[in-house]
Amino acid sequence: MPFKKELTRISIIEVVDTLRIKAKLYILFIIEDFRYPLLFSCEINNVTNGKRSLFYGSNLRTKFLELKSKGVDCIECSLGTEITGGVSLDAGDIVEFGLPIKTANTILLALKRYLIEEEEFDLSQDIHLFIKK
């Protein structure tokens, strides 16, 4: 498991790419001291109950860019075995696999701050945390 200890402070190194497809937003990014790229996805128009996920995987960057260039409508549907771990929220159900919710939320807060600092306000407004009921 890549996240052996709880991360309390995270630095975003780079937002590699972003993509909006229909009512979905994808943000591919890199964090400091973590060997895998991360992919955040969410439904843009349904922030309260919308699906969202944060995945990581060794080949995620290459696969994401490949799927983007092919014009695939559902990136996360096509990632399959490229996903090593993550957190996903769908219809109120949260699934954690290899990434604790608390760590995922810490990463998303760092991403939101990074986007605000980079003056990407439209992207930062679509980032919402995972809330465990």
132 lies in some domain: no
Q: Quick check: is 1 in a domain?
A: no
Could you tell me the two tokens for 133?
């009921």
Asked whether residue 4 is assigned to any structural domain, the reply reads no
The pLDDT assigned to 16 comes to 93
Confidence check: pLDDT of 133 > 50: no
Predicted pLDDT at 40 = 94
Containing H/E element for 88? strand 85-90
Q: How many domains does the chain have?
A: 1
Reported as a single tens digit per residue, the pLDDT across 43-56 is 887 666 678 999 99
Among 89, 106, 121, which Cα is nearest to 32's? 106
The model's pTM: 0.87
In a domain, 2, yes or no: no
**Which two tokens mark 68?**
């983007």
Range of the domain at 49: 12-124
